[in-house]
Amino acid sequence: MPKKLDLTENLENYIIDHSESLTDVQKEIIQYNINLGDQQRLQISVSQAQFLQTLIKISNTKKILEIGSFTGFSALSMALALPSDGVLISLDKSSEFSTKAQSFYKKAKEKKIKQIIKPAIESLNELKDSSKRFDLIFIDADKENYLNYYEICLELINKEGIIVIDNVLWHGEVIDDTKNDKFTKIIRKFNTHIKKDSRVVKNIIPIGDGLTICIKK
């Protein structure tokens, strides 16, 4: 077996630089988020955005649902990878973040993104009652509701559709026995639930804060 790669910050930057380039508006969102200070950590990493774009393209995804849009970086990145007749519904309860995200979509002339601004559980239940189904769902909102989101998403995803969940490695704390705070426990419980779930094929990818990819059987 080859020596395990030590993914340093420099190597991560090299990977980003040698993968799909960011558009000007994607770069603008990143800069806007940096200026927000602490809240910048809410945004997915650039390598995660590049990976999601690849996933969308190789799966011929046309319909995406996102739970947790923040200022729009992940939604815009995913929408850019969709074909022109694709659609992305993005859920967030914050009208402040959603208004900002909307301004970036407009600047990027990106019309495939539809926003729903209210608690995600309400939106998901409404989508469940409608006939809308999705090829790919990205879960990246409040961790307390991850299990609820996942269970509803299994009803909203097409057969062989993909559910992607962010933050599943929780800064590496999932394997640290000394960390037993509320959020670490929630993520561990969530990961165990997915592991035992025979309805999906699953794989954890160690980019950003850890992404789980579930494919519905």
Residues that bind ligand SAM (CB under 6 A): 42-44, 68-71, 73-74, 91-94, 97, 119-120, 140-142, 145
Q: How far is the CB of 3 from ligand SAM (least distance, A)?
A: 32
Q: How far is the CB of 93 from ligand SAM (least distance, A)?
A: 4
- The string of DSSP letters for 51-82 reads HHHHHHHHTT--EEEEE--TTSHHHHHHHHHS
Of 209, 202, 212, 138, residue with least CA distance to 169: 209
- Cβ closest to ligand SAM, residue 42 vs residue 87: 42
Tokens of 1: 């077996």
- Cβ closest to ligand SAM, residue 96 vs residue 155: 96
Q: How far is the CB of 96 from ligand SAM (least distance, A)?
A: 9
- Cβ closest to ligand SAM, residue 97 vs residue 134: 97
Of 73, 24, 67, residue with least CA distance to 49: 73
Q: How far is the CB of 53 from ligand SAM (least distance, A)?
A: 13
- Cβ(137)–Cβ(67) under 8 Å? yes
